[in-house]
């Protein structure tokens, strides 16, 4: 009898910790299709560079494949955890994220002029990759917990706000929505500022974009976005007019983006060859493995500019299919979020898939010369083992949320 009670207690603990529903199969199928195509295209895009720079044509692909397997296993493990436990992870994650962003600033430069990487010996990773999901999780937690403060006209109880109200005889009332937005804005600025100190302008842009997206998903008042839009437009005009304000490498990239004839053998080299690759792909492409631009014309084609090789080998049709797959992944993730059993799950799921969507849009914008060369990777395609593992772990969170949706289809 005692044994049965112990077994029931053990089962109760397990059931409390583990998610019990079935995961969203369409989301999983779309994801695994993208990961598979990404691995195939990485091998095709990387083998020349890998042969000349890594001592073997399969070195980059083999490493990515190992990390993909690790990431997929981790994804399924995380998908079985009840997503309510991610609230605790959010509090831990914000401390870890900021801590790593600070630590990397004091470590030796892994690449001259850039302090983005922490070298673990067997691999390197960028703390900004962890910071992206850390920011999404903490904002999902805070926006859920303080929903009324963000969306309703509730007078702030802070001492300073009360003093201002009394001093003006109630003519000026500071609402909790204002103080909340200021606090969340400062949090986003801290994350983005630390990433900028790494000489990581693209990561800074992405961090700011994620922060604004989370505030929008959290139903912050529209006037804040109107004010923010004006500030962003002014900042963009200022930077375009005065690129020297930025770090030297970033300012040069803006100059090269504006002036299509600027240093064709230097700052414009990668972008020009990317456009040659896209143009030569035509409607149906040159065929898998048949790219010419990957033969050391597009610099490091396995990373930020892998989509240009995709366009060259698979053509307009293949590139469109891949874009549609990413769009379906984001769409399905939004549906999972909308059907989540609480606001935290909704914000977390939608924040994660919007991160994927924003990265894809920025990457393709850079590759096609619609945006300055910012160095943003293409999710699930670009080389980077630890980045792939983190992305797949995030997908595990979305799948965990899908197990507890209000409406099963």
**Considering the domain boundaries, does residue 283 fall inside one?**
yes
Whether 306 has a pLDDT exceeding 50, the answer reads yes
**Considering the domain boundaries, does residue 132 fall inside one?**
yes
What is the residue range of 69's domain?
23-152+188-214+249-402
> Residue 155 pairs with which residues in a beta bridge?
175
Q: Which residue has the higher pLDDT, 236 or 167?
A: 236
Q: Which two tokens stand for residue 247?
A: 């770090």
Q: Residue for token digits 């401390």?
A: 95
Expressed in percent and rounded to 5, the helix, strand and coil fractions of the chain are 70, 0, 30
Q: How far apart are CA 300 and CA 281, in angstroms?
A: 19
Q: How far apart are CA 228 and CA 251, in angstroms?
A: 23
Tally of CB atoms within 10 A around 260: 12
Question: Which residues fall within 8 angstroms of residue 148, CB to CB, at 6 or more apart?
Answer: 154, 176
Burial status of residue 107 (CB atoms within 10 A of its CB: 0-12, 13-18, 19 or more): exposed
Tell me what the pLDDT averaged over the chain comes to. 82
**Considering the domain boundaries, does residue 393 fall inside one?**
yes
- What mean pLDDT is predicted for residues 134-157? 75
Which candidate, 312, 307, 301, 320, places its Cα nearest to that of 278?
A: 312
SS3 at position 289 = coil
Whether 7 has a pLDDT exceeding 90, the answer reads no
Whether 10 has a pLDDT exceeding 60, the answer reads no
Q: Which two tokens stand for residue 361?
A: 């849009």
Q: How far apart are CA 119 and CA 106, in angstroms?
A: 13
Helix boundaries (H) for 18-58: 25-53
Tally of CB atoms within 10 A around 303: 20
Q: Residues 161, 174: contact at Cβ < 8 Å?
A: yes
| 2-11, 69-78, 367-376, 400-409: the lowest-pLDDT one | 2-11
For the chain, the domain total comes to 1
Q: Residues 400, 390: contact at Cβ < 8 Å?
A: no
- What mean pLDDT is predicted for residues 18-24? 81
Q: Residues 208, 374: contact at Cβ < 8 Å?
A: no
- What mean pLDDT is predicted for residues 328-343? 93
Whether 26 has a pLDDT exceeding 60, the answer reads yes
Q: How far apart are CA 212 and CA 220, in angstroms?
A: 10
Burial status of residue 128 (CB atoms within 10 A of its CB: 0-12, 13-18, 19 or more): buried
Q: How far apart are CA 393 and CA 389, in angstroms?
A: 6
User: Which percentage of the chain shows pLDDT scores above 90?
Assistant: 36
Distances (CA, A) of 189 to 81, 99, 143, 193: 31, 15, 17, 6
Q: How far apart are CA 219 and CA 248, in angstroms?
A: 38
pLDDT 10s digits, 30-89: 999 999 999 999 999 998 888 888 878 889 999 999 999 999 999 999 999 988 888 888
Q: Residue for token digits 């850079």?
A: 366
pLDDT 10s digits, 65-82: 999 999 999 999 999 998
Q: Residues 180, 149: contact at Cβ < 8 Å?
A: yes
Q: What are phi and psi of 367, to 5 degrees?
A: -60, -35
Question: Which residues fall within 8 angstroms of residue 227, CB to CB, at 6 or more apart?
Answer: none
Displacement of CA 92 from its chain's centroid (Å): 19
Q: Measure CA of the first residue to CA of the last residue in the chain; give whole Å.
A: 41
> Residue 111 pairs with which residues in a beta bridge?
114
pLDDT of residue 256: 74
Q: What are phi and psi of 22, to 5 degrees?
A: -90, 145
- What mean pLDDT is predicted for residues 269-278? 88
Q: Which residue has the higher pLDDT, 408 or 153?
A: 153
**Considering the domain boundaries, does residue 38 fall inside one?**
yes
**Considering the domain boundaries, does residue 232 fall inside one?**
no
pLDDT of residue 253: 75
Whether 409 has a pLDDT exceeding 50, the answer reads no
Q: Residues 274, 25: contact at Cβ < 8 Å?
A: no
Whether 407 has a pLDDT exceeding 50, the answer reads no
Q: How confident is the model at residue 354 (pLDDT cuts 50, 70, 90)?
A: very high
pLDDT of residue 149: 61
**Considering the domain boundaries, does residue 8 fall inside one?**
no
> Residue 175 pairs with which residues in a beta bridge?
155
Q: Which two tokens stand for residue 17?
A: 């910790």
SS3 at position 155 = strand
């Amino acid at each position: 009898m005692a044994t049965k009670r112990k077994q029931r207690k053990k089962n109760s603990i397990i059931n409390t910790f583990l998610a019990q529903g079935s995961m969203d199969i369409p989301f999983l199928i779309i994801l695994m299709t993208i990961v598979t195509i990404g691995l195939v295209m990485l091998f095709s895009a990387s083998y020349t560079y890998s042969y000349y720079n890594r001592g073997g044509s399969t070195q980059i692909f083999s490493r990515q494949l190992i990390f993909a397997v690790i990431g997929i296993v981790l994804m399924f493990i995380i998908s079985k955890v009840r997503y309510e436990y991610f609230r605790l992870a959010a509090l831990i994650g914000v401390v870890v994220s900021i801590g790593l962003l600070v630590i990397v600033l004091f470590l030796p430069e892994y690449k001259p002029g850039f302090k983005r990487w922490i070298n673990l010996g067997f691999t390197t990773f960028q703390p900004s990759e962890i910071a992206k999901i850390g920011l999404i999780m903490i904002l999902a937690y805070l926006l859920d917990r303080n929903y009324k403060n963000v969306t309703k006209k509730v007078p702030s109880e802070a001492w300073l706000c009360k003093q201002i109200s009394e001093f003006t005889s109630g003519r000026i009332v500071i609402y909790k929505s204002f103080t909340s937005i200021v606090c969340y804005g400062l949090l986003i600025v801290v994350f983005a500022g630390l990433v900028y100190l790494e000489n990581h302008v693209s990561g800074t842009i992405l961090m700011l974009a994620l922060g604004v997206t989370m505030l929008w998903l959290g139903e912050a008042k529209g006037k804040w976005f109107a004010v923010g839009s004006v500030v962003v437009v002014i900042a963009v005009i200022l930077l375009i007019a005065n690129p020297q304000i930025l770090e030297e490498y970033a300012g040069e990239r803006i100059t090269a983006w504006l002036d299509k004839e600027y240093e064709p053998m230097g700052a414009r080299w990668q972008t020009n060859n990317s456009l040659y690759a896209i143009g030569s792909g035509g409607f149906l492409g040159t065929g898998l493995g048949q790219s010419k631009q990957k033969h050391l014309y597009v610099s490091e084609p396995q990373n930020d500019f892998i989509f240009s090789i995709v366009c060259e080998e698979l053509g307009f049709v293949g590139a469109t299919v891949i874009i549609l797959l990413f769009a379906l992944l984001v769409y399905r993730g939004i549906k999972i979020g909308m059907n989540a059993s609480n606001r935290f799950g909704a914000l977390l799921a939608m924040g994660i898939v919007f991160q994927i969507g924003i990265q894809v849009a920025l990457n393709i914008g850079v590759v096609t010369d619609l945006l300055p060369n910012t160095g943003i990777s293409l999710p699930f395609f670009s080389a980077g083992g630890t980045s792939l593992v983190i992305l797949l772990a995030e997908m595990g969170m979305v799948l965990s949320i899908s197990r507890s949706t209000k409406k099963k289809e």
